[in-house]
Structure 1
Amino acid sequence: MRAVVPLAALLLACLPPAAGAAAPAPYVQPSQWLTALAQQRLAPGYTTLAGRVDALAEALDAACAGQPEAAAAARERWREAALSLRALSPLPFGPVLETRVLRRIDFWPTRPAQIERSIAQYAAKPQDTARIGLSARGLPAIEYLLFDAGRASLAEDAAACRYTAWLAHDAAAAVHETAAAWPAWVDGLAEADAERDAQLIRDGINILIGSTEVLRLKYLEKPLRHRAGPPETDAWRSGAGRAALTAYFDGLRVGLQGGEGLYGLTAVMRGRGLLVLADRLDTQITATAAALAALPEDFGAEAARPAAEALMTELGRLQRLLAEDVADAMKVTVGFGESDGD
């Protein structure tokens, strides 16, 4: 006998959703999240970065050839490349980890003594670059050579100029290698099964926890709290320190929240019914962004200490929320390693 459906139930089924009722969040697989992130942010971002490092190398070549105004152009090209890099560095997914590009182009804090020794080493044997360590390479090393007020300008130091130009070409080669690897990595995500998706969410959450820790500890707490004398923060020589912090946080926020037409971790969470927790994460991200917005340009100054401490506090809360509540709700074991850029 066919079941009889009450008339009231039929009428209710035909009614539109109640005003203000939220539509159910779509179920977003980790592979969908990272595919969107790679296609819309990371792949084009590394292509842009490659072009900007190429432009930096060209400007440095011109400076070493004695062209007027080339050094000023090189400094501007450095700022453009450095901020592009800083927006990408909190999202070391896929080819970024496979090529270890951040270790090669973003070693920080800089080590001036090692950079100076490497200038002499390169001048003596320019074909023997394999022995030049990572601590003397990359964009932070180029910043030291372009902007440090305590050393001779590149126009006055031909050996340093040639070395700086080589550093830019070396960084460009590394970035181009990574930029070319994105299509194959994205294609692999299309074939992700349940086991692969589980690994992707574990890696993704751990990377975001680790990047939050890097911003709080490496770029703020260590230089501000644990140095005698004036703090040497990221990009302090070029005057781009606060802009670098902002670019890093903006990149981290994309991984956490996505953007227009772009999934973030919160979309993955909402698809699993973690609506309240995703809202809490959104609220904490907003609080952290507000603390960053209140940070003065000269955030290493003593007068800026309360604002810097407030930002570190909010970043600590964000990290704990990710490492404890989010990881637990998503059944992820926390075990992120060291920053890929250190």
Structure 2
Amino acid sequence: MRFAPLSLSLIALCMAVSSHAATPPAPPLTSGAAAQALYAQWFVPQSAQASTSAQQLQSQLQQYCTGTASLEKVRGDFTQASQDWERLSAVAMGPQIEHRTARMVDFQPMRLPLLKAALRKAPKDLAAMETIGAPAKGFPALEHLLWVDVAAPKTPTCQYARLVAADLTQELQELHQANQAAANFTALDFDSTAEFLNQWIGGVERLRWQAMEKPLRSATASKPAQVTRAASEGTLTSWKAQWSGLRTLAIGNPQMPDNVSLARLVEVQGWQHLADELRAAVQQADSAMQSIDKVSLNAITPANKALKQLKHLVENDVALSLDVTIGFSDADGD
């Protein structure tokens, strides 16, 4: 079960109420203020970075398709843009869920027959791209066209790749604008701590089970593991980018100790020992994640174990300290 963001009607109602009330702003890290802090301190800057990187990829691909930039440079920009997206999307809240951004920019696995059909259709502009299904667009389709069936400059395939990048950029720009609106919405007064905690746990499971363990367990001698960014050999960096987002939202950034995080929320409730325990568990998981050196079940086993232990701590002790009920998510694994 996912905790849904505020509906537009509810937002409008809250805005109407707040316009007639003279209530002063909530102190830091209460429900509404914590929500604003989360958007202002994490989702806004991270979506800005993801949007900027996507725009750089689009620009570089445009140059490549005209024959004035190298394939290596485009591939480098793809890697940067995809990692910025993965860091941002590690915890999905509010506009990201409402806009279904993950489906639109990172539908996995990419559907090759649909991509071939889209290439035959040869859309001419972004308006025409709206008729192309998500399984033939986004990062996975672009990865395929940059590493597998490589789009040569000055070809219709390269033109399609350019439109995929432009469509991706537009989606991430819209997400950034929506995150800015959420951060500026002074009446954000919903159960943000519960949503944050549940979606963070869901993010851990998406990484631990859906991204890492499940595809490796499903692989056979005739069917390679369908792991993220396999074509570009970027699977490990993809996993670690997702983890970096989860890690920061769990224990914060040492340079910004007062920014909202799970550990900070626990601290302001007076549970200092538990906050320290949480930080220790995150550091243990971090060491295990950084030690993964290849895409195999044996290589991920220590990280898998550490992530399970961390999830258990958050689901039980952290949730209890914050008076949060944990729901089931479609990311839940075994």
TM bracket, shorter-chain basis = 0.7 to 0.9
Q: Indicate yes or no: 2:157 matched with 1:160.
A: yes
SS of the equivalent of 1:91 reads coil
- Pair 116,212 (structure 1): closer, same or farther in 2 beyond 3 Å: same
Deviates more, 1:216-225 or 1:56-65: 56-65
Return the letter of the residue paired with 1:279: D
How big is the shift at 1:118?
Answer: 2.0
Partner residue, 1:267: 264
Mapped contact 1:30–1:268 kept (Cα < 8 A): no
Q: Structure 2: any 5+ residue segments left out of the alignment?
A: 1-26
Which consecutive aligned stretches of 4+ in structure 1 deviate over 6 angstroms post-superposition? none
Partner residue, 1:175: 172
Of 212, 218, 221, 2:213 maps to 221
- TM-score where L is the length of structure 1: 0.80
The CA distance in 1 between the partners of 2:208 and 2:157, in whole Å, is 33
Q: Structure 1: any 5+ residue segments left out of the alignment?
A: 1-25
Q: Indicate yes or no: 2:70 matched with 1:51.
A: no
Mapped contact 1:60–1:70 kept (Cα < 8 A): no
How big is the shift at 1:161?
Answer: 1.4
Cα-to-partner distance string for 1:180-228 (whole Å, 9 max, x where unaligned): 223321122x3345xx2xx111111111010000000111012211111
- TM-score where L is the length of structure 2: 0.82
Aligned pairs for 1:63-142 within 5 A? 63-65=64-66, 67-122=67-122, 128-142=128-142
The CA distance in 1 between the partners of 2:111 and 2:315, in whole Å, is 32
The CA distance in 1 between the partners of 2:235 and 2:322, in whole Å, is 35
- Pair 206,220 (structure 1): closer, same or farther in 2 beyond 3 Å: same
Return the letter of the residue paired with 1:214: R
Q: Higher Cα Rg: structure 1 or 2?
A: 1
How big is the shift at 1:317?
Answer: 1.6
Partner residue, 1:12: none
Partner residue, 1:21: none
The CA distance in 1 between the partners of 2:125 and 2:54, in whole Å, is 24
How big is the shift at 1:138?
Answer: 0.9
How big is the shift at 1:126?
Answer: 8.4
Q: Indicate yes or no: 2:200 matched with 1:208.
A: yes
How big is the shift at 1:157?
Answer: 8.5
SS of the equivalent of 1:237 reads coil
The CA distance in 1 between the partners of 2:154 and 2:329, in whole Å, is 39
Aligned pairs for 1:302-341 within 5 A? 305-338=297-330
The CA distance in 2 between the partners of 1:146 and 1:114, in whole Å, is 17
- Pair 164,239 (structure 1): closer, same or farther in 2 beyond 3 Å: same
Deviates more, 1:246-255 or 1:111-120: 111-120
Partner residue, 2:18: none
The CA distance in 2 between the partners of 1:120 and 1:337, in whole Å, is 38
Mapped contact 2:58–2:162 kept (Cα < 8 A): yes
Corresponding pairs, count = 300
The CA distance in 1 between the partners of 2:147 and 2:32, in whole Å, is 42
Of 259, 274, 279, 1:277 maps to 274
Percent of counterpart pairs with the same letter?
A: 25
The CA distance in 2 between the partners of 1:240 and 1:30, in whole Å, is 38
Partner residue, 2:244: 250
